[in-house]
Chain A
Amino acid sequence: GENVEQHPSTLSVQEGDSAVIKCTYSDSASNYFPWYKQELGKRPQLIIDIRSNVGEKKDQRIAVTLNKTAKHFSLHITETQPEDSAVYFCAASGNNRLAFGKGNQVVVIP
């Protein structure tokens, strides 16, 4: 089955700087790559996703890039704010169930 890995496990950034989280996946048939944000004590929520027919997608301060050849995709957060502090999970799937990475703790330092 699909195996998704995230790195780094923890990332600290100064408020206003950019944060980048990278994920790799193993199954070349995967074609859907979402990112979920989980704030402390809350449920995970989808923040952005990308399908394999595009290489990049943006939504205000967040963007996701996909490199299918290398089988990795990244989340980019620009102009980070304290409310961006959370755990971010990447995931991948093809025609089967979604497989999640272990999560990245992002800490935005005011």
Chain B
Amino acid sequence: DAGITQSPRHKVTETGTPVTLRCHQTENHRYMYWYRQDPGHGLRLIHYSYGVKDTDKGEVSDGYSVSRSKTEDFLLTLESATSSQTSVYFCAISESGTHYNEQFFGPGTRLTVL
């Protein structure tokens, strides 16, 4: 299994509070991705990174920010959590980010915003 961990695995928070989710990899892969999974929507890309300090927006980036100060860590921050951000969040990594390069997924973080 690819070495990807996510923390925390579960979190309950209140509307308006900041939340940071962490993705950590031990594979030294260049590309890292954050997705959210919601019933009926599959996985939707929030942000991705193609190197240290290099990030770009995905399909549903509003309300989220990311940072990558080290190859192994990719942080997702909800500056002021809302109930619509209740979801399961998955991190993925890819060696080169090209179309034929498999993405490996972490175990997910279940976030509930009350």
Is B one of A's binding partners? Answer: no
